[in-house]
Structures are given as structure tokens and as C-alpha cells.
Structure 1
């Protein structure tokens, strides 16, 4: 146990020339170092004191409504493709292992089974480390491919190598830049830069699977006021030949998001093949109507 210096029980007397001691001012460099140095912590000593395992679960239910329902024409063996174009219901479960380490999964129901494509999953899953605090690193594995509960003969439930590993770093937009960009007094902007690596991906031009799909992305979220926000993410492809028609140059969204249990979230998101030059868009992708609207309700056990 740490030892403390003895304390006097009589009040200190100050002369007119004396000054009250002041705490060292926390600088931006201190905040950056604190965020970096605390990343990926696995506080094993909290196993006994942390919340019970059965209270580490959280969940949400979601309805997703696409603005168009025209299925894309892509070879049947593809397990990646355009974002879902089907009215869906989903249930998500997240288990907080300890600290900011977690694992989560989502199961989907398609209201029109005929529109479910090979790359539209029955379930998706994500695991890794993610801390909401600024200046922290994150490391995630995510698999949103054509995962199946009951795959056809010779097909796996999931292709792990077709998931994506992402190493990211969060940072806020601070003064004076935030004052130039925000049009509300309480506006805040948080950003994240990621390196994304997918070991195996489907290439439409060659109609075969290739390896080592790599991108760098920069995403920012502008909290306008309260829980209302807009966000956008831009992508840079380390090899432009790897970019598929459904791979976006950028994505965007807006809506009302509340992270607290027992709340409702309403969002519009567009993950389709958006292009900086609209002439480069693939057919039936990259338009505002290729996005979807979602309604979610979150809760804890």
C-alpha cells in the first residue's frame, strides 16, 4: 500500500505574498499520450470487481428500409456485393468481455426472401477493441459477407478470410478549427482514421477471388446539437484496381442517435458505390435513393 505524508490538522496561514498551489495544466499533448497509452488495456484485475458476466450483454432491434429494391446482377458465387436492397428486421447482441474488449453479432430476417442475394448475410459478427474516448486506438475484425445459418452443401457458414481487419485512431476536431466548421454553440466533431485489410475479396472483372484488399479511410461525425448528427467517410484504395463497383469513394449518413439503453435511433445511411465523379458510378448504385432508413431500439439485460 502506498504511504502518504502526514497531514496537519490546523489550517494553513498564508502571508500576503504567498500563493495557493495550482495543479499542472493538462495540455493537448497530455490528452493524446493518455489516449494512446491507455489503448488496448485488458484490466484483468477487474474480473472480480467488474460487473457480472450476465449483465455485460446489450442488444438492439432494428428495421431497415431501402429506398429502392432492385437487386444487382452479380455472379452467384460472390459473397460480397452492393449493400442490402431488401426490407429487413435484425437483432443485435453485444457482449462486453472486459474494459473495451467486446464481441457482437447480428441476425437478419428478409421480408422478401426472393430479393436476398448471395452476399446478403443471415448473420454478421464483429469483435475486438474499441474505446469511445478521443486519441485512442481501436482494432476490429468485422465480417459482413454472405454468412449462412444453413449453407448449401460444400458452402461454409462463414468465410473468415473475407472479413476485414481495421486498425484505427480517434481524434477530435478542436479549437480554432471547430469554431470555423460548427454553426451551433454545442457542435462537436470527432474523427477516425483507419487502415483496413481484407485477406480475400471477390473481383467482379475476373469473376474470381483475389487477396489483400487494402484501404485507408477517414471518417468524421458532426454532432450538431443534442443527439442529431451528420457523418461521412472517405476511402483511399492502395491499389485502385481492387475497387469494385459497389466499393464507395465515400459514405454518408445523418439522423438521431442515442447510445443509452431504452432509447430509439432513426438514421439514413448510404454505403453504396458513391463516386466523387458521378460519371464513374456503377449501374444502380451511388445515388441518394440507394441508401436506406433504419429505426432501432436499444436495451440491456
Structure 2
């Protein structure tokens, strides 16, 4: 308990420079009210008023797209200037329970990238919104079984960049989930910045009539994001060396079923298939109850293991439902 108390004090003092990944996905939680109206496309003859309405709807959609793109990356200087120290600081406390436990993977010592280890963990996450949608965040990890923590399992992770939950906006985010260490050994570093991933994304909602075809609840809404992901340096298991320029594109969507209940999934395309490692998935997925607002509880199942479209090509002890984990988290704000 004394260790946890010291850790909380340390994070509070340094929250302005070392902050965290919250599990909040505000865009996907707020997509439904902002979904655009569908354009009218018919094959029969229209009256002038119908044609005018159709043109207006199409123009409205184009305006929404342009407004989203053109307003991206804006830095509200006046808002930043008037902020108090704790304004924009939020976080969560999480407990993560894997569905199974596995033996450690056979990778060279010192590898900072590798498969997910099935280890019970607790996390403390903080996020600081600098101004507008510019943020920096970080998470610290406590491993209940220290012997299960591998070189690529982090003591902490960090993320920063620009991400706006509004539809049709662009985002640019850097994330490092590698084997970061508070007290590295002689062979380790505190962090390997080049092994983090830069992601350029674009968010968009699925609108009617497609939304009606794909949902089965009155409140159902689907929000998606397309990403280009670039990692300057990555570990190649085949050559047991670090190589350069790992590139993927991904398409992720979340279906808000009713209230805060949801299901989501992300598919990946590898520009060079040889770059895909056994722990790099073809797709990821999750479901549960998610509420990004402070003072709320979130319960999720997530599977980020080496899932494959063809199960016969997946790596050993990865890509199965039981390789996912259940997360229980409590969100808060200052």
C-alpha cells in the first residue's frame, strides 16, 4: 500500500509531462447524434422541390466533411492561455484479467516487442488535454506475477498528439506500447522512441440507409476510423533483428448497440506481408459496456492477440478467444 501511495503522489506531481492512455473513445461514443442525413437518390422523376432538397442534403454532407477536415489540428491558444493547472486532467484505474495463462515466448533477451503476456495487471492512467484536442497521456502497470513480465511488457506506456472525437476530422497520434522501463538494465533503455507508432487517421460515421441495414436497434449507430500506421523500427522474429519501416493501414468500427453497450473491431492490411509477426493481428475485436465520463465504471472484453482470418496460419498460443482479457475500470477527473 505504501508503494501505491508513493506512486499516486509521483503521478500527480508529474501528470503535466507524463500522462496516459485513457480508454475513452469520445468520438465513437458521440457519433450517433451527429450522423448526417442521407442524400436522396431516386430513379423516378422528381419535382423541383424534391431536387432542391436532395441537392441541399448533399451540400450539407460535403459541408460537414469539409468543416471536419478543415478544423482539424487547430490549437486554441486563448483556451490554453486561460487554463488552470488541473484543467483537462483525467484518468482511470483498471484491473485486467486474462482468460488464460501461457508460458513465456522464446524471443531473444532484450526484445522490446513481442506477444501479449497473459498476466493479471493493474493500471493507473492519466490524460492531460493541453488545449482543444491536443493531449498527452500515459499509463503505469503493476504485474501481479512479476516473473511473467517479459522484456517487451512495459512498466509504462505513453501517447500524445491530436485526436478529435467529432466525425470527419483528422487525427495524428504517436503511441509507444513497447518494453519501456523506469529502471532499465545496462542492456535496456528507458524507452525506444523509434519503436513507437505514428498514426494518421480520419473519422467518419456510417449514415443511413447503410446504418439502418447494419443495425438492429433504434439507437444503433456506427462510427469508424481509417488509419495509416508507421513504425520506424520493429523486431523481425524470422531474422531476430530489428528492421525498419513497418507500415499498415487499418479500418476500425464501433457499433453502439444501445446506451453504452457496444461491439467493435479493427482490420489491418500489411503493405509488406513479411513484416507481419506472429503477434501482429489481421484483426482485433472487443465488446462490453463503455462510458468515458468521469465517475463511471467500464467493463470490456478485448482481444489484441495474433488473430488471423485463416485460423490455420495463426501462431502458437495466440489468436484465440481465450487469448483476450477482461478489463474493469473506473474513470475520474480532477
What TM-score comes out, normalization by structure 2 length? Answer: 0.81
* Ranges in structure 2 where 5+ consecutive residues have no aligned partner: 1-55
Alignment correspondent of 2:256: 223
Any residues of structure 2 matched to 1:269-284 within 5 Å, and which? 269-284=302-317
Tell me the distance in 2 between the aligned counterparts of 1:251 and 1:227: 20
Q: Deviation above 3 Å: which 4+ runs of structure 1?
A: 23-26
Tell me the distance in 2 between the aligned counterparts of 1:93 and 1:47: 19
Q: Give 1:111 shift.
A: 0.2
Tell me the distance in 2 between the aligned counterparts of 1:290 and 1:92: 23
Structure number, greater radius of gyration: 1
Q: Give 1:163 shift.
A: 0.2
Alignment correspondent of 1:181: 214
Alignment correspondent of 1:300: 333
Tell me the distance in 2 between the aligned counterparts of 1:120 and 1:25: 49
Alignment correspondent of 2:44: none
Q: Give 1:26 shift.
A: 6.5
Alignment correspondent of 1:52: 84
Tell me the distance in 1 between the aligned counterparts of 2:302 and 2:230: 23
Q: 1:68 aligns with which of 84, 96, 100?
A: 100
What TM-score comes out, normalization by structure 1 length? Answer: 0.90
Q: Which has the higher helix share?
A: 2
Any residues of structure 2 matched to 1:14-163 within 5 Å, and which? 27-49=60-82, 51-70=83-102, 71-163=104-196
Alignment correspondent of 1:7: none
Tell me the distance in 2 between the aligned counterparts of 1:26 and 1:169: 20
Tell me the distance in 2 between the aligned counterparts of 1:267 and 1:246: 21
Alignment correspondent of 1:10: none
Q: Give 1:154 shift.
A: 3.6
Q: Give 1:132 shift.
A: 0.3
CA offsets 1:115-134 (integer angstroms, 9 cap, x no match): 00111000000000000000
**Are the counterparts in 1 of residues 255 and 264 from structure 2 also a CA contact under 8 Å?**
yes
Tell me the distance in 1 between the aligned counterparts of 2:117 and 2:208: 39
Matched, 1:286 2:319: yes
Tell me the distance in 2 between the aligned counterparts of 1:294 and 1:116: 18
1:31 match: secondary structure: helix
Tell me the distance in 2 between the aligned counterparts of 1:40 and 1:53: 22
Q: Give 1:69 shift.
A: 1.3
Q: Give 1:289 shift.
A: 0.2
CA offsets 1:146-180 (integer angstroms, 9 cap, x no match): 00000001421000000000000000000100000
Matched, 1:203 2:236: yes
Tell me the distance in 1 between the aligned counterparts of 2:157 and 2:88: 20
Matched, 1:252 2:285: yes
1:126 match: secondary structure: strand
**Are the counterparts in 1 of residues 163 and 172 from structure 2 also a CA contact under 8 Å?**
yes
Q: Give 1:47 shift.
A: 2.8
